[in-house]
Structures are given as structure tokens and as C-alpha cells.
A and B are shown apart, each in its own frame.
Chain A
Amino acid sequence: MRAACAALLLWAAPVLAQPAAFQVVGDTIPASLTGTPGDAARGRAIVTTRQRGLCLLCHSGPFPEEPFQGDLAPSLAGAGARLTKGQLRLRLVDGRRLNPATLMPAYYSTEGLVRVGRAWQGRTVLSAEEIEDVVAFLVTLQE
């Protein structure tokens, strides 16, 4: 629990900008938030660095070097086979649009939140660039 809580605390580098506008089509955000494709290697680093992506607190995945993975959410293995880029993007940006009760935080939204800590106010969990990096990585997880 200690490592998990520390992981939630450590990623203190702020993402200051308000989220940029994007268009939702069905259950997807078809276009890149930055207009350019992300970098899968950087995305993998975000996903596996607990203090940054926080992903492995809840998800497991094909990351043999990471001994502590969560089981609150589906495995990331095969995520790229189950979902398209646009579907992955919307689920990262704000999964509440598909399931208001989802456990997953909205990684690119500052709306509808209660008592956000002073250090985090007006900031998204990840930046648009980081979202694109993670999307680029997740689509490589084909099995």
C-alpha cells in the first residue's frame, strides 16, 4: 500500500494547460489531440512508470519487469486488438463519457471533479502529448 500511495503522490510535474478542444465521434476521438502521432516508446515509459501514468496501480499488462501490478481493471494485454486508436483515446481522455460510473480517472479533463488538491487544480493527469504517446503504445499491444 505504501508504494501505491507514494506512486499516487510522486508525479508532481504539472500539466498546466487547459485541455484542448477535441471532437467525439461515437465512442471514439478519431483525431490526434496534438495533430501529430505519439511516440510508442515514450508511451510505454508513461504506462510502466507508476508515478506518471498510474496505469499499473489498477491494470496489469505484458510488463515482466514490473512486479507490482493491479487487478482492479482489465489487463492491458491485447488492448490494441480490442480497441481502435480512437476508442483508446476517448477512454483515456474521459471514460465517463461512455460509463459515468467508471473507476478510471479521466486523464485529460478538469471537469466534474470535487475538491481537487491545490497542487492539481486546473491540471490534467496527462498532457495531450502524453495521451498521444500512450495511445501510440497501447495500439502495439496486439496480444
Chain B
Amino acid sequence: MRRFATLALALLALGAGPRSGFETMTPELQAMQRDDFANPGMLWVAEGEALFQRQGCTGCHTPAQMVGVAARYPVFDAGRDGPIDLAGRIAQCREQRQGAAPLPTESPEALALAAYVANQSRGLPLAPDPDPRLDPARRQGEALFRERRGQLNLSCAQCHDDNAGRRLAGSAIPEGHANGYPLYRLEWQGLGSLRRRLRSCMVGVRSEPFPPDAPEYLALEAYLAMRARGLVVETPAIRP
């Protein structure tokens, strides 16, 4: 927690908060993200809306009740005694409350539902769950963020904190904020989750990605939400 405070003070001193990757995109990409008819991520949002109706989510939830939900996640889940992220909550709802077969993690349907729910919070500032029971996960996430790893021996922080704004080869390094997931990456030609992005970076530094359901992802997600607090939800964001 002391690190959060130090970071917050440093940012206040600079008069600058976290900066969304949106700010450093080309005007063309910014325009594409802003225009719902040009933003390819909206195809997943539309599919998610149809699934939300068809799969019975509306039996308990109205779309209006979904406003602001994604801005709070990950939250503390008493049953798991730890954090749960939005995709995890949707999967949990299906399995435990609907008795439905789980959607495969990061399947197109799971991404579409998450994109639809998160899109209901678009434009709202990230306001992470203040529950102190999340602190251990946040601390673990920050430690993972700062840990050098892989054959190239690089940490997330070395690029996205220390060298954000500089160029890795020809590409500007963003601050790496998780305020638009699931998002559409031109590189992927599709919508993808924050976990997919984290795995790409891990593989990029030639490290072994954590197994798909490892608690390390939730810890990183919980830390990243705190790190990006105040930025507005952009789902579905577009990134190069």
C-alpha cells in the first residue's frame, strides 16, 4: 500500500494521472474507436447483448443494472476468499445460478458477454473495489508487475512505468492500462482479453506464461485496476 501512496504522490507532483493508451494512438485509430459503426469491437458487444437476452441473464439483471459494474472489477468474492474478475463472475453466474455448462474461458461467447457488460460502463471512471481483503492480491500483483522474468529478464514496470512514451523499435510504449478490455487489437484481428495481452507480453520477454487459470492473473488484474483508477472505461477499446 505504501507503494500505491508513493506512486499517487509522485503522479500528483507531476500533475499527471494515468494516461490511457488511447491518448497515444493515431487520430485515425482514435476516430475508429469513437465511432460505434467503425469500431469492430461493437460486433462483439452486439453479440453479447443478444446472448445476455438469449441465455437468460435478463431473468435477474436489467442492462441498466450493469452500468458501473465493470468499473469496479475485480472484486472480492467471499466464496473464493479472493478476487474474481468480470469474466469469472459471468462464468460463475452461468454455472452456479443458471446451472448451465461453463463457457470455455476466452471463447467468443465469453468475450462477447464480457464486452457487452463492460460496455455498459463505457465513459465511467475506473473505481476499484476498496475492499481491503483485496490488498494481498494487489500486493502480489504489484510484485509480479515489478519482477523481472524470462530469458530477456524484463519486468512489466521496466517498459510500462519506466519507459512509457519511449519507442521499442518503432512503436511507442504505452503505460499499459487495463481500461478498455476486452478490446480489439489490430495485431490480433479480433477481440481479446486482458489475460491474452498479459500472456503476449510474458511470451515476448521469453518467459513461461502462467497457466490459464493461475491466481497470478487475478493478482495482476487487481493491481492494474488500482494503477489505472480514474481512467474511464473504453470497452471495446481499439489498440494497434
Q: Which residues of A contact B (CB under 8 A)?
A: 1-5, 7-9, 50, 54, 56-58, 67-72, 103, 105-106, 112-120, 123, 125
Is there contact, CB below 8 Å, between B149 and A8? no
Question: Contacting B153 at CB < 8 Å: which of A57, A68, A105?
Answer: A105
- State the CA gap A10–B199 with chains docked (Å): 16
Interface size, B (range): 20 to 34
Please tell me if the beta carbons of B168 and A1 are within 8 angstroms of each other in the complex.
yes
Is B207 a contact of A114 with CB atoms below 8 Å? yes
Question: Per-residue CB proximity of B123-163 to A under 8 Å, as 1/0?
Answer: 00000000000000000000000011111111000100011
B171 contacts which of A3, A116, A119, A125 (Cβ < 8 Å)?
A3
Q: Which residue of B lies closest to A102 (CB)?
A: B153
CB nearest neighbor in A for B153: A105
Instruction: Give the residues in chain B near A5, CB-CB below 8 Å.
Output: 187, 200, 204
Considering the complex, which residues of chain B in the window 176-228 have a beta carbon less than 8 Å from any beta carbon of chain A? 186-187, 200, 202-209
The answer for the CA separation of A67 and B200 in the assembled complex, in Å, is 24
Tell me, yes or no, whether B59 is within 8 Å of chain A by CB.
no
What is the CA–CA distance of A62 and B27 in the complex, to the nearest angstrom? 31
Is B56 an interface residue, CB under 8 A from the partner? no
30 pairs, A vs B, C-beta closer than 8 Å:
A2-B171, A3-B171, A4-B169, A7-B169, A8-B152, A8-B203, A8-B204, A8-B206, A50-B169, A57-B168, A57-B169, A68-B170, A68-B171, A69-B169, A70-B168, A71-B167, A72-B167, A72-B168, A103-B154, A105-B154, A106-B153, A114-B153, A115-B207, A116-B149, A116-B150, A116-B151, A117-B151, A117-B207, A117-B208, A120-B150
What are the 3 closest A-B residue pairs judged by CB atoms, nearest first? A68-B170, A1-B171, A2-B187
Q: Which residues from B are CB-within-8-Å of A68?
A: 169-171
List residues of chain B with CB under 8 Å of any chain A CB: 147-154, 158, 162-163, 166-171, 173, 186-187, 200, 202-209, 240
Nearest residue, chain B, Cβ from A11: B206
CB distance from B164 to the nearest CB of A (A): 11
User: Could you say which of B149, B166, B240 contacts A115, with CB atoms under 8 Å apart?
Assistant: B149
Interface pair A4/B170, CB less than 8 Å apart: yes
What residues of A have a CB within 8 angstroms of the CB of B240 in the complex?
Answer: 1-2
Known: A113-B150, A115-B207. 11 other contacts (CB 8 A): A1-B187, A3-B169, A71-B166, A103-B154, A105-B154, A114-B148, A114-B153, A117-B206, A117-B209, A125-B151, A125-B152
Determine how close the nearest CB of chain A comes to the CB of B186; give it in whole angstroms: 7
CA distance A106 to B173 in the complex (A): 22
Q: How far is the CA of A104 from the CA of B38 in the complex (A)?
A: 40
Give A7 to B207 CA distance when docked, in angstroms.
15
